[in-house]
């Protein structure tokens, strides 16, 4: 993968840390981890119109952020630029609306160069940018959704709580299962460079889906009766599964559509007000096959209709706390 070396963008083979001798894919930790806070004296205080997020509609990590932007009513508060669907050796490209000081079109790495002219590392979506200081606040989606989840509440008046204090142990427990087993598990299967590494990762994906199915057959949401962060972190991988990971990443023991509870749950989340507009299934499919098919050919199917009735209202559940 290409990346910046001392501020210069270079084509390079995958970083040695990403594919080990054992053929296993290991995701590199996000290096930029600052925080937006409600406190006006914070280093990055929450302010309407100050922050901007660079995303790709195809990326499951960036989609956590686009989902939260909708759920928390932040569309007019935090700006957004969406990359062109596929990534090439320039990295993600922004060819439509973007913001000063960036020219149109510009690659994502320009944002990292602006942040630090000597930056070394990858340029990944989502990237949360502070227009006022010209700095990147964070490029870690797990942190960004926590910030969007509460830091702007006094500005928007939206007090929906996706990480309620009393449910945190249960949410954290599911996040700790779903991140390695599913969110990153599909990537460890798809980017594996040995048969053994692929099989271990792909089998782990289905063990995780089986555990989720067992929970969701009895409970409306992962943490019980309330829809929380754990569900949205699961959602962005589940919604990509049948069109992308099942074929392009060879996670093909079963489809989500084959799981009665998981498929209804996926449809409920997809049908949540505003969420469907953040899911671009055709772009997602093309991007995953562009990553894995040497001719960049993507399949004509599967046919998916996520607008069908989900039937989850038969289980006890109360939506998002605070609604």
Ligand X SMILES: N[C@@H](CCC(=O)N[C@@H](CS)C(=O)NCC(=O)O)C(=O)O
Residues that bind ligand X (CB under 6 A): 1, 30, 59, 61, 91, 122, 124-126, 139-142
Q: Is 191 exposed, middle or buried (0-12, 13-18, 19+ CB in 10 A)?
A: buried
Q: How far apart are CA 323 and CA 314, in angstroms?
A: 19
Q: How far apart are CA 116 and CA 120, in angstroms?
A: 9
Name the DSSP class of 118: T
* Residue placing its CB nearer to ligand X in the complex, 142 or 315: 142
* Min separation Cβ 187 and ligand X, Å: 8
* Min separation Cβ 196 and ligand X, Å: 24
Q: Which residues are designated catalytic?
A: 59, 187
* Residue placing its CB nearer to ligand X in the complex, 12 or 159: 12
* Min separation Cβ 264 and ligand X, Å: 26
* Residue placing its CB nearer to ligand X in the complex, 66 or 139: 139
Q: How far apart are CA 20 and CA 82, in angstroms?
A: 32
Q: How far apart are CA 127 and CA 144, in angstroms?
A: 9
* Residue placing its CB nearer to ligand X in the complex, 30 or 175: 30
Check: CB of residue 149 under 8 Å from CB of residue 72: yes
* Min separation Cβ 1 and ligand X, Å: 4
Phi, psi of 106 (to 5 degrees): -140, 150
Q: How far apart are CA 308 and CA 296, in angstroms?
A: 31
Three-class secondary structure of residue 112 per DSSP: helix
């Amino acid at each position: 993968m290409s990346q910046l070396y001392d501020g210069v963008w270079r084509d390079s083979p995958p970083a040695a840390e990403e594919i080990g001798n054992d053929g296993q894919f290991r995701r590199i930790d996000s290096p930029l981890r600052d925080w937006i806070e409600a406190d006006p004296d914070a280093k990055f205080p929450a302010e309407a119109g100050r922050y901007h997020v660079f995303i790709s509609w195809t990326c499951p990590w960036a989609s956590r952020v686009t989902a939260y932007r909708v759920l928390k009513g932040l569309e007019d508060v935090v700006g957004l630029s969406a990359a062109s669907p596929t990534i090439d050796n320039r990295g993600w490209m922004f060819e439509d609306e973007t913001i000063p000081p960036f020219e149109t079109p510009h690659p994502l790495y320009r944002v990292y160069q602006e942040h630090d002219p000597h930056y070394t590392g990858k340029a990944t979506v989502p990237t949360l940018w502070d227009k006022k200081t010209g700095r990147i606040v964070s490029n870690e989606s797990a942190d960004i959704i926590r910030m969007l989840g509460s830091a702007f509440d006094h500005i928007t008046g939206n007090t929906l709580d996706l990480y309620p204090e009393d449910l945190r142990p249960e949410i954290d427990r599911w996040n700790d299962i779903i991140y390695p087993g599913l969110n990153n598990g599909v990537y460890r299967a798809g980017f594996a460079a040995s048969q053994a590494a692929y099989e271990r990762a792909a089998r782990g994906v289905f063990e995780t889906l089986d555990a989720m199915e067992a929970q969701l057959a009895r409970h409306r949401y992962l943490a019980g009766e309330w829809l929380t962060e754990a569900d949205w972190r699961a959602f962005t991988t589940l919604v990509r599964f049948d069109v992308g990971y099942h074929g392009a990443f060879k996670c093909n023991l079963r489809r989500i559509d084959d799981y009665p509870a998981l498929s209804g749950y996926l449809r409920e989340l997809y049908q949540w007000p505003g969420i469907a507009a953040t899911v671009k299934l055709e772009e997602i499919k093309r991007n995953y096959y562009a990553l894995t098919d040497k001719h960049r050919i993507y399949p004509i199917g599967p046919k998916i209709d996520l607008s069908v009735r989900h039937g989850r209202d038969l289980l006890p559940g109360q939506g998002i706390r605070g609604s």
